[in-house]
A and B are shown apart, each in its own frame.
Chain A
Amino acid sequence: MSKFDNAEVLLDVQHLKQYFGGRRGVKAVDDVSFKIHKGEVLGVVGESGCGKTTTGRTIIKIYEATGGKVFFGGECISVGIQELKEQYKNAKKEGNAEEAKKIAAEIAEGKKINKTHTSRNINKMQMIFQDPVASLNPRMTVREIIAEGFAIRGIKDKEYINKRVYEVLDLVGLVPEHADRYPHEFSGGQRQRIGIARAIILEPELIIADEPISALDVSIQAQVINLLNELRNKMGLTIMFIAHDLSVVKYFSDRIAVMYFGKLVELADADELFENPCHPYTKSLLSAIPVPDPHYEKRRKRVIYTPEFDSDRSEVSELREVTPGHFVLCTSKEFERFQSEINK
């Protein structure tokens, strides 16, 4: 149980789906549901191509969701139209007029919601990108980059903008003189600080940090993690932290979600997940973490996950709660096994 369980739910993702390339295309995110409480850090881990970045980008509406709903602060901000359309077609084919009518209404409402909440006006949600070089416009000064959010919002008061820009620069550990420089004049760590400053200037409640440290040097990584931690304490930020470095995720997150091939396979408190990993994929992931200890490394045995053998395929897996707050994607048979394993 985490200390955030009683806090209000800030982000609620329900059956989110994101398919690329039409019907037979890639199921990048396939029926993912989770909640993030206010003030919490949720780490999302998984191998490359498992859909963790796509999940983040779909939530912030860089992509239009294929199916499912996203609620932010209790308000629905995103509805997957495409899936509803398909349901509508099926219902019509089967001659179920009542059902079809209901779905049609849902579609209309969903369209309205999607129109009112676009990526341009979801100010309370911001993103930090992986590559600090590619994500900053080289032809804009740091001031312009950071203040772009104000421009989009229609705030033109120069004095106010400058004041805020200097404030956030100070917050992320840069100095006001940096405001008139261009991104290329900064080192990698400083550039990532600019990216963070841009994300926090509109005082967001939720930050989606997409691998914010994997493009940085080891010595700089710690600086950025410490900065995020400080900001979190100061501003009461909620963070969805996407990464593949498990040691960092463990250090930084309250809860951790493990993804595999577009599905959420396990979701638990950080300590609980590392102590009692249930899903075989999680086990294999944990066994692969390199540790700076030569003797330990010589003894380490890697667990290999092959879905065909390690997972029960007799029925469709569902996300079930093994112990309070610990969800695992499993069948009923596996569910019993996991429970007995933990209780042992």
Chain B
Amino acid sequence: MEKILDIKNLRISFRTNNGRVKAVRDISFDLNKGETIAVVGESGSGKSVTARAIMGILAPNAIVEGGEIIYDGKDLMKISEEEFHKLRGNRVSMIFQDPLSSLNPIVRIGKQLTEAMILNGKSTQKDAKEIFKKMTALLSECMTAVGVKNVSANIETLKKFIEVSNKCERAYNEAEEKIIDAVSHIEGILIDIAGDNTKEVGKAVSELLKILTKVYNPFLVHENDEKIASLSVKIKGLAGKYSKLPKEDAKGQGEELKDALEELKVYLDKANEGDAPNFFTLGYYLTFEKDAKTEAELSSDVSAMNKMTRKYLDDNFMTAFLKDIEKGLEYADKKSNEQKKEVLTVAEDMLQFLNGDTIDIKTLLTKEKAIIKEVEESINRLDIVKDSVAYTFKSAFSAAVETYVEAMKLKDKKKLNRHEQSIFDNTDYNLIVENMKIPVLRIKEDYEKKFANADNKWDDDAVAMVDYLKEQAAKMVYKVSRAMAKARAIKLMEEVGIPDARKRYKQYPFEFSGGMRQRIVIAIALSANPDILICDEPTTALDVTIQSQILELINRLKEQRKLSVVFITHDLGVVANMADKIAVMYAGKVVEYGKVDEIFYDPKHPYTWALLSSMPDLYTKEKLEAIPGTPPNMIHPPKGDAFAARNKYAMKIDFEQQPPMFKVTDTHYAATWLLHPNAPKVELPAIVTERIARMKRMEAESNE
């Protein structure tokens, strides 16, 4: 599984008048592609703060005390606001709790949906251009180094024919979107005819005819082109007559027009049936074959064309080019491996230095510079999947060193003012040195692992490289026009289950019900095709039926789009159907972490037990086991286990010392002293054991 988001030792606090509120205290979890992690806990447990940190929208009084959120080779805690602009909404999207307050009440839904698409289109274009240029430059450098000939000419060829294929594909997509637009127009007209709105019909038909002139594409409606043309002439005549009728006389007069429209709709629906052409290969064929057939000629048999162009491309260019790329990639890897070996020796040296009794600041700084330089050089820039450890080494290590230097300055100072004194008293010098070791150890382990699992095959990588370049090139010519954005917005609205999307497109948020509003918010979040979707209590403001509809929707979209979801909630019932993994949070810490089955069928932490037993289900008769008291004040978090004061299983050690994460299975961890080998055996609360037994019984029954 590909790890997409990695949160490590995150610590966040808030500056308030009464002191620092420690909202998140050292949490770590990760998220794989296409997976859902649910973060469960009561209010004030720090779950929303974590989500906001991922989005980079923490309140201004927040202080990030440490830790990393690694996404796409970047540490989100250390990048600038400018860089965040490119991620936020685009790659990472968020759905908020209250749908009413996250929509602009005075802007129509349609505008709110398309706004981001149009704005984003431009910036994607610019970024893609840059990446393409950089990648090809690096690639050709490596390839020339191993003695491949004609490198620049080949890359030029690649650029040229990708441009052509993109042009074809864009024309195809635009026509396809026009068809969708036309079909939804026809549906609108049919409703108008049923209501005898003659004037409306006249207007709508003239709009439709305008759209119909743009639906032609050799690969789309080629068989029905003539029929569509003749039908549109017919419709024009009929609608001209019909629209002049006064409303009272219109009853029954629209039948002929209706039939014509329905016939047209059938043809349009058929238009994009059949194979989609492979534009990549087609582009090469059209650019370089001297006596190439035209698109119209080719379109009679698309699958044959795909085969033919594919063979043409492979024979003339691609097979050889892929071999060249393989060589280039191998060279780059070898080069970076040599650097990596050097990093290992430097890291070993660094660790020894840090383990020494005295750490001289000057030597530390020079050594820091050297190791950062080595690591930066060891990164293989041609890797498509970015190696997060090496990429974030610089920011992590230099931050740790800086803290150390600052702390040392304070230590050497003779006179401290009150503020400095309080910092001095609260500083743990051993910990600061340990913190410096962490990134070094991490990169060492990472590289050693890499050497152990190295495979020396490059064919897959070369194909991936070409695909990557193709994708970037497609983004380069990608342009979102207003009409395209509208068509896409309507498609999205239909995807999230809003009926009558065309009409709804023009409405204001107040005209939607709560569930529909939340759907709009989800549609906006999805409009930029994000990798990660963060849902911050998306159903808390909704009632049961709407809640289960929204949950089903999120689950469906997750499957379709391979989304990774961070789902924040306080309701364990909601989580059971959604999550793959669950992190239970209490007082800014993850107290239990595991797969969904492990948390529900084999919970280990007393807080999880309490959560499970404090909510009634349909079979509960006995008195509920309420959790006594309230969560602790996070300005002065308790010294030991934060839950100890409300925990009836608490032992003496719980009040004195924080429990570490005990491992239950490879995927299941819990922070409670009850898992310590010396702890007394404690039974789960009766209400939980009964429920688990009943759940197992019910499952067995349903399996029979």
Contact = CB atoms under 8 A, between A and B. Distances in A.
Interface of A: 46-49, 187-190, 217-223, 225-226, 229, 244-248, 250-252, 274, 284-285, 288-300, 302, 305
Q: Which 4 A-B pairs have the closest CB atoms?
A: A251-B616, A297-B577, A222-B626, A290-B573
Contact of A226 (B570, B574, B624): B624
Nearest to B572: A292
A302 B600 contact: no
B686 interface: no
A245 B544 contact: yes
A217 B573 contact: no
Contact of B576 (A46, A219, A274, A293): A293
B542 interface: yes
B565 to A, nearest CB: 16
A192 B547 CA distance: 25
B667 interface: no
A300 B577 contact: yes
Given A244-B543, A290-B577, A292-B576, A222 B699 contact: no
19 contacts: A49-B514, A188-B43, A218-B570, A220-B42, A222-B627, A223-B627, A226-B626, A247-B616, A247-B618, A248-B616, A250-B616, A289-B544, A290-B548, A290-B551, A290-B574, A291-B576, A292-B612, A293-B600, A294-B596
Interface string B40-72: 001100000000000000000000000000000
Given A47-B544, A292-B691, 9 more contacts: A219-B631, A222-B614, A290-B571, A290-B576, A293-B695, A296-B695, A297-B576, A297-B577, A305-B545
B316 interface: no
A293 B619 CA distance: 13
Contacts of B616: 222, 225, 247-248, 250-252
Nearest to A244: B543
A294 B544 contact: no
B624 A225 contact: yes
A49 B543 CA distance: 10
Interface in B591-647: 596-597, 600, 610-612, 614-618, 620-621, 623-628, 630-631
Contact of B548 (A189, A225, A293, A302): A302
A51 to B, nearest CB: 13
A106 B221 CA distance: 73
Interface of B: 42-43, 513-514, 542-549, 551-552, 570-577, 596-597, 600, 610-612, 614-618, 620-621, 623-628, 630-631, 691, 695, 698-699, 702
A294 B615 contact: no
A47 to B, nearest CB: 4
Name the residue among B542, B546, B610, B617 with the largest chain A CB count within 10 angstroms. Answer: B617
Contact of A222 (B572, B577, B615): B615
A48 B543 contact: yes
A220 B630 contact: yes
Given A218-B615, A297-B576, A251 B571 contact: no
B271 to A, nearest CB: 32
B571 A218 contact: yes
A219 B513 contact: no
Contact of B630 (A187, A247, A295): A187
Contacts of A46: 543
Given A219-B42, A247-B616, A189 B630 contact: yes
Nearest to A250: B618
B615 to A, nearest CB: 6
A288 B610 contact: no
Nearest to A248: B616
Contacts of A244: 543-544
By DSSP majority rule, is chain B's interface helix, strand, loop, or mixed? helix
B597 A218 contact: no
A299 B691 CA distance: 18
A189 B627 CA distance: 12
Name the residue among B43, B621, B702 with the largest chain A CB count within 10 angstroms. Answer: B43
Name the residue among A223, A245, A274, A295 with the largest chain B CB count within 10 angstroms. Answer: A295
Contacts of B618: 246-247, 250, 274, 289, 291
A9 to B, nearest CB: 27
A219 B627 contact: yes
Contacts of B621: 251
Name the residue among B571, B611, B616 with the largest chain A CB count within 10 angstroms. Answer: B616
A218 B543 contact: no
Contact of A49 (B513, B600, B624): B513
Contacts of B617: 247, 291-292
A278 to B, nearest CB: 17
A304 to B, nearest CB: 9
B543 A294 contact: no
A294 B572 contact: no
A284 B545 contact: yes
Contacts, number: 133
A188 B695 CA distance: 33
Contacts of A247: 573, 615-618, 620
A250 B621 CA distance: 9
A217 B544 contact: no
A219 B611 contact: yes
A284 B545 CA distance: 8
Contact of A299 (B574, B575, B615, B702): B702
Name the residue among A187, A244, A246, A291 with the largest chain B CB count within 10 angstroms. Answer: A291
Given A222-B625, A297-B576, A288 B630 contact: no
A289 B574 CA distance: 9
Contacts of A289: 544, 573, 618
A289 B548 CA distance: 8
A245 B600 CA distance: 20
Contacts of B628: 223
A229 B621 CA distance: 12
Contacts of B571: 218, 290
B552 A292 contact: no
B597 A294 contact: yes
A218 B614 contact: yes
Contacts of A250: 616, 618
Contacts of A217: 42-43, 570
Contacts of A295: 597, 695, 699
A93 to B, nearest CB: 30
Nearest to A284: B545
Contact of B42 (A218, A248, A285, A296): A218
Nearest to A303: B545
Contact of B573 (A285, A291, A299): A291
A277 to B, nearest CB: 12
Contacts of B574: 290
Contacts of A299: 702
Nearest to B613: A222
A233 B702 CA distance: 39
A190 B628 CA distance: 12
A284 to B, nearest CB: 6
A300 B576 CA distance: 11
A294 B626 contact: no
Contact of A221 (B542, B596, B615): B615
Given A218-B614, A297-B576, A251 B620 contact: yes
Contacts of A305: 545
A129 to B, nearest CB: 17
Nearest to A246: B544
A50 to B, nearest CB: 9
A229 B80 CA distance: 54
B576 A285 contact: no
B597 to A, nearest CB: 6
Name the residue among B543, B547, B624 with the largest chain A CB count within 10 angstroms. Answer: B543
A305 B544 CA distance: 13
B698 A296 contact: yes
A292 B614 contact: no
B576 A226 contact: no
Nearest to A224: B626
Contacts of B572: 218, 292
A97 B329 CA distance: 100
Contacts of B514: 48-49
